[in-house]
Structure 1
């Protein structure tokens, strides 16, 4: 989408804190109403990659065979997410830079929101026909997988991984306790 690409270009050039919605609209040659049709706020442009990535993991869990153990589902989902990160390294690296350079975003951007981890835990529980919400073990399993991915993601974008980055991700996520 041209609007998001324009916003990202401006964020990278000027810094998030120095770009307004009016600046984005002028550069993209659109009306503010058009911008707000897709993004309620400027911050939503920044959140889009995170939303996409959490949706990717959620869809992966939904499409996994019912008899696959939760740890295997999470390992596979984190690998699929890693493939996305490797394919979009430049864009995600720019996101990281934009966040680090913005006082506002550093204070408000915390990565995967806890409610998304809770949703993922509930999806895993539902695969087993469990109701009443996921138990602490399943929630901890999800938190562990997300933390392993977050550490890998940070190391990958900082060029701290030598060799195959996906093999390193698989190694890190494989440490999830087997069910």
Structure 2
């Protein structure tokens, strides 16, 4: 059952949003509106049956505007607006925190707000990515070119290394691995488990050296 997010989640999320430059905030709001219309149509009539033209009509935008924000229909499911907000929160963490602890602290600021605010949307998007073959393939491409690259950039900044350093790259992939593990566990529970808690537990496990 869909529920509205509590006011505290909206207010605190907007606080993080306001820290971004105006241009970035405007882009994020437009992306969010397009994605909300797309996910509603996917839920109503199925992913394959929904066209870009239908999404544009629902969002009252032109196809050129759609493709400015999402290169393909797959990207409207795969992409999200949260990387810039997470990166801003990560960079604000105390300098004496290592990369995993800084990431955990940033996620504790951002992810519960996203979860309260966008839980149904996150669930719809995740299920689509796991069940639609084209989306599964696009998801891994996006992880490599987007999320992993962003993680490597953040880790490199905090450790004084180059983003292309092999250890930085391996570290970023390890973080993605434990995040994906949390996501699968959440889906396997039919979304009854607390996803932010699962993510934090897995990152704590990674910080321990994955010791069993």
Shared fold per TM-score greater than 0.5: yes
- Kept in 2, the 8 Å contact 1:83–1:166? The answer is yes
Distance of 2:205 and 2:171 partners within structure 1: 11
**Matched residue, 1:70:** 99
Question: Structure 1 stretch 18-27 or stretch 120-129: which is displaced more?
Answer: 120-129
RMSD over aligned Cα, in angstroms? 3.1
Cα deviation 1:31-82 (Å, max 9, x = unaligned): 4344344434323322332xx2433433332222222112211322344454
How many residues align? The count is: 176
SS in 2 for 1:17: coil
State the Cα distance separating 1:164 from its structure 2 match: 5.2
Shift of 1:94: 0.8
Contact in 2 for aligned 1:78/1:173 (Cα 8 Å): no
Indicate whether 1:20 and 2:51 are aligned: yes
CA 1:176–1:30 in structure 2 vs 1: closer, same or farther (change >3 Å)? Answer: closer
> Where does structure 2 lack aligned partners over 5 or more consecutive residues?
1-29
Residues 1:143 and 2:178 are matched in the alignment? no
Q: Does 1:108 align with 2:138?
A: yes
Contact 1:11 1:19 in 2 (8 A): yes
Q: Return the offset for 1:93.
A: 0.8
Partner of 1:42: 73
Map of 1:60 onto structure 2: 89
Classify the secondary structure of the residue corresponding to 2:48. helix
- Note if 1:10 corresponds to 2:5: no
Q: 1:125 to 1:11 in 2, by over 3 A?
A: same
8 Å Cα contact 2:74/2:138 also seen in 1: no
Q: Normalising to structure 1: TM-score of the pair?
A: 0.75
Report the alpha carbon displacement of residue 162 of structure 1 after superposing the two structures with TM: 6.8
Q: Which residue of 1 aligns with 2:112?
A: 83
